[in-house]
């Protein structure tokens, strides 16, 4: 079973094959333990495109994060505090074995590495990375709420999401993002039509 050389045992090819199969099994188990996560990215200070590129580069350097897709980048007007520059926004789809609170720590660290300076809430920011959806998890923690509580109110989140994953099911309302966006568009059209009819009767 073993060859002896200089007092050391050398594994036979059969044992090497066995070890290789064990490694493959571990890899497959690792694949199955990964969760699909959607991260919102935004910036409205300085060289906005460069901040996005740097954040993506930092994410790619993380051992337990695999980027699957990046949406188009959309220029949007500010929400909340209006007196600030327009944002560039998008959504990143990743797979990861990192737990939600640990992932939050990684994202905050990347924000700092890229150059974020923390100002007042809703204020300008060099880079912003938010966990939007983490698999089918619903989490209400003092530091983190999943799904993101404001995502359904933000077109700059929904539009990139529907671009890269229209069949994503929102864990709280049990509808796909495509259905939610379609419903919102129908409601907007309905309100617009009702207002037009009301104006015509005056």
Whether the CB-CB separation of 129 and 38 falls below 8 Å is answered with no
* C-alpha–C-alpha distance, residues 184 and 168, integer Å: 16
Tokens of 119: 């100002």
User: Which CB contacts under 8 angstroms, 24+ apart, belong to 141-144?
Assistant: 141/100, 141/101, 143/101, 143/104, 144/100, 144/101, 144/104
Nearest by Cα to 94 from 55, 72, 61, 67: 67
Active-site residue set? 116, 125, 128, 130
Residues 6+ apart with CB under 8 A from 92: 38, 39, 40, 41, 56, 59, 67, 69, 70, 71
DSSP 8-state symbol, 98 = S
Whether the CB-CB separation of 51 and 117 falls below 8 Å is answered with no
């Amino acid at each position: 079973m073993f060859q002896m050389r200089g007092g050391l045992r050398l594994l036979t090819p059969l044992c090497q094959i066995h070890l290789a199969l064990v490694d493959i099994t571990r890899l497959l188990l690792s694949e199955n333990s990964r969760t699909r996560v959607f991260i919102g990215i935004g910036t409205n200070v300085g060289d906005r495109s460069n901040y996005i590129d740097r954040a993506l580069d930092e994410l790619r350097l993380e051992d337990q994060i695999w980027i699957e897709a990046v949406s188009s980048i959309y220029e949007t007007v500010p929400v909340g505090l209006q007196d600030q520059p327009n944002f560039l926004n998008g959504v990143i789809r990743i797979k990861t074995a990192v737990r939600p609170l640990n992932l939050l720590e990684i994202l905050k660290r990347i924000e700092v590495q890229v150059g974020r300076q923390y100002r007042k809430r809703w204020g300008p920011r060099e880079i912003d990375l938010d966990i939007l959806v983490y698999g089918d998890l619903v989490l209400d923690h003092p530091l983190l709420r999943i799904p993101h509580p404001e995502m359904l109110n933000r077109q700059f989140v929904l539009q990139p999401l529907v671009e890269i994953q229209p069949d994503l099911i929102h864990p709280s309302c049990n509808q796909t993002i495509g259905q939610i966006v379609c419903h919102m568009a129908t409601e907007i059209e309905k309100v617009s039509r009702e207002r037009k009819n009301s104006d015509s009767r005056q």
